[in-house]
Amino acid sequence: MTDTHCPYCALQCAQTITPGGDDDAVAGQVVVEPRAFPTNAGGMCQKGWTSAELLRVPDRITTPLRRVPSTGSGSGGSSGSGGGFEEVSWDVALDDIAARVRAIGEQDGADAVAVFGGGGLTNEKAYQLGKFARLALRTRNIDYNGRFCMSSAAAAANRSLGVDRGLPFPLTDLADADAVVLFGSNLADTMPPAVQHLGGARERGGLVVIDPRRSATARLTDEGAGEHLQLVPGTDLVLALGLLHVVLAEGLADADYLAARVDGLDDVRRSVAEWWPERVAATTGVPETQLRRIARMLSAASPHRGGRGAFLLTGRGSEQHADGTDTVTAVINLALALGLVGAERGGYGAITGQGNGQGGREHGQKADQLPGYRMITDPAAREHVAAVWGVDPGTIPGPGVPAVELLTSLGQPGGPRALFVHGSNVLVSSPDAQVVRRRLEALDLLVVCDFVPSETALLADYILPVTQWAEEEGTMTGLEGRVLRRRRAVEPPAGVRSELEVFAELAARLDAPGTWSVEPREVYDELRRASAGGRADYAGISYDRLDAGEALYWPCPDEQHPGTPRLFADTFPTPSGRARMVAVRAVGPDEPLRAEAPVWLVTGRVLQHYQSGAQTRRVAKLNDSAPRAHVEINPVLAARIGLEGIDDVRITSKRGSIVAQARISADIRPDTVFVPFHFADEGMVNAVTNAATDPVSGMPEFKVCAVQIRREDA
């Protein structure tokens, strides 16, 4: 029996894994069970309970695969040109990949090779991937799928609070609060065990869910447990501005806290003055009386009014917009006005989605960052990391470009000609996905490390088989900034390698400077040194301390330090030591409704699936429950287009169209449809979504676009 954590979301539910014995009936079987841990309190969702199935999926890749070009292929790149795959040895694959990378670099420069990482990689792999890109490939072109997840919340927290840690407090702090407000988060479907932490707020009628859908989480507010604010899609920012308007206009703010700890109040006061409740109601569809009631409830729950506490939490529903950074900033402004940030009973936080979405963005996968959440343009940061790597600071490339810009530049004149993909299924998870498909197909070299043939992998020139969660050692960082141990419970199939081995082998072939250990503990100890003194300081968090059962949250600067479960109690890591309120302006969705596209499309998750579905669609118990994409549609809209039941419908935007099965439900607004984003082929909703991005964070506007909907047989 081995103690580890679930392979899926950032809640990182604690598990035990027990391999089957020698008996023929259980040989090769693996049993996964939950164990007690603060975030999941002994619970697991359907995905966790069935996670052992990932270890025996029938199409598991166990040997390197090389594309066999089809005869008579046309001009352009080689990736995805058909012809199927053939098995090759690791040496053949790595020798050829290295040779082709060298040739591309010699012809067009190091930036002609790019890297795309993932928020599910362990800290060790994320760290080594950033190092591999910058020292072995010598490219500035690296980014990762966390750009699609946490980038807006991170950008807002950094500029307002001085640091980005999704939850700057333990999740268990929510339990006794009088009020918890969820801006665009459907915890009941995405992180079901987390719902138990909302119990106190529900008992006191203080759970508030802001969502255009009456989601599973919104239904938790029924029978006096709270309120559901069913706003117009894309108006989250206006709603936050309106709540702050009421707090300031009615004298509900914590004046002492603001005077002692916050700058920028005057500018923000002026900026929210124009969002009086009646105007907010007309824009968002949230009644004026409800807006005032929520603002007053939050004030009453806040410590300065003697309440048990209030928490404001943002999720992707409010963040995945072209104004996502400003939306989160407005929520932080509201939390600061109420004196919640750093309070003993209250706070603001962003709910990280991917398993290592927190650690994955701290140690070098982002286009502009080095390990420890250091900025790559900071000379002191470059000098520190270069010393750990044993190189001259000048050899570290400068900042690259965010994910959408990187992906749309692939195969273009002056853009990257080769791409390495690790821990991401970019074809399904990127906005305007058909453009991404064309860009991947235009590459001269696409290398994908994965354990299953995802939709992206099937376009590759090489698929390299790598270990998965129960087969590897390492660390993950959960949604609270707590570092967790991932432990090997079973042996990987013969022929499968760790990505640390892949990096080391390619680095040797490319004559990369520095050392390239394949041992997770050694890589992690190097990460600790590289992060030391940075905002995300792991220097004091060792494997030995984690194995001894210590609960260690970064920053933790040395091995005598207890870690930092709660940030901001006394000061903020800003030059002044004070938080910054930042005035923001509501603009609205990038793409307005129009005659030929009169309906809003919003996207999200369902209980059975995770991310692009590359894993969960291979688990029969999950896929049988949700085998294809569906469209949630209000009865009024259904009647307007002639739907009578579960007909197939076609949704079309400027970018493309999909076909999915209709589900008529009063839980969605009449002007809105909802489609989950886990599916490929005809139900791949990201073929429709908008690639417009937030100018600060680079986050795409996944969560709202204008579409036409009709019956497929019409």
Written as six digits, the tokens of 376 are: 């790559």
Choose among 629, 573, 638: nearest CA to 606: 629
Mean pLDDT over residues 208-234, rounded? 98
| CATH number of the domain encompassing residue 289 | 3.40.228.10
User: Does any domain span residue 543?
Assistant: no
pLDDT band at 259 (very low <50, low <70, confident <90, very high): very high
Q: What does the mean pLDDT of the chain come to?
A: 96
> CA end-to-end span of the chain, whole Å?
56
454 to 147, 518, 552, 645: CA distances (angstroms): 20, 25, 35, 32
Task: Report pLDDT digits (tens) over 424-468.
Answer: 999 999 999 999 999 999 999 999 999 999 999 999 999 999 999
pLDDT on residue 78? 58
Q: Is residue 511 located within the same domain as residue 644? A: no
| CATH number of the domain encompassing residue 476 | 3.40.50.740
Task: Report pLDDT digits (tens) over 367-385.
Answer: 999 999 999 999 999 999 9
Q: Which domain holds residue 28?
A: 2-56
Give the H or E element holding residue 296: helix 288-301
Question: How many CA atoms does the CB half-sphere of 573 hold within 13 Å?
Answer: 15
> Does residue 80 have a pLDDT over 70?
no
Contact status, residue 486 vs residue 3, Cβ threshold 8 Å: no
Q: Is residue 173 located within the same domain as residue 46? A: no
Q: Is residue 190 located within the same domain as residue 327? A: yes
User: Does any domain span residue 566?
Assistant: no
Q: Is residue 182 located within the same domain as residue 269? A: yes
Domain end: 19, 35, 56, which one?
Answer: 56
**Residue 428 burial by CB count (10 A; 0-12/13-18/19+): exposed, middle or buried?**
buried
| Dist CA 204 CA 77 (whole Å) | 60
Q: Is residue 672 located within the same domain as residue 650? A: yes
> Does residue 74 have a pLDDT over 50?
no
pLDDT band at 29 (very low <50, low <70, confident <90, very high): confident
pLDDT on residue 77? 59
User: Does any domain span residue 544?
Assistant: no
pLDDT on residue 27? 41
| CATH number of the domain encompassing residue 30 | 2.20.25.90
Q: Is residue 685 located within the same domain as residue 706? A: yes
pLDDT on residue 645? 83
| CATH number of the domain encompassing residue 701 | 2.40.40.20
Q: Is residue 51 located within the same domain as residue 77? A: no
Give the H or E element holding residue 384: helix 379-389
User: Does any domain span residue 256?
Assistant: yes
Domain end: 56, 73, 88, which one?
Answer: 56
Q: Is residue 318 located within the same domain as residue 371? A: no
Q: Is residue 337 located within the same domain as residue 415? A: no
Give me the count of residues in the chain: 714
pLDDT on residue 79? 63
pLDDT band at 26 (very low <50, low <70, confident <90, very high): very low
Domain end: 484, 518, 552, which one?
Answer: 518
Label residue 159 left, alpha or beta by phi (over 0 means left) and psi (-120 to 50 means alpha). alpha
User: Does any domain span residue 444?
Assistant: yes
Comparing 24-38, 339-353, 459-473, 577-591, which segment has the lowest mean pLDDT?
24-38
| Dist CA 200 CA 529 (whole Å) | 41
> Does residue 73 have a pLDDT over 90?
no
Question: How many CA atoms does the CB half-sphere of 279 hold within 13 Å?
Answer: 13
> Does residue 23 have a pLDDT over 50?
no
Predicted TM-score (pTM) of the model is: 0.96
Q: Is residue 401 located within the same domain as residue 468? A: yes
User: Does any domain span residue 569?
Assistant: no
Q: Is residue 120 located within the same domain as residue 21? A: no
Structurally, the chain folds into a number of domains equal to 4
Q: Is residue 482 located within the same domain as residue 360? A: yes
User: Does any domain span residue 587?
Assistant: no
User: Does any domain span residue 644?
Assistant: yes
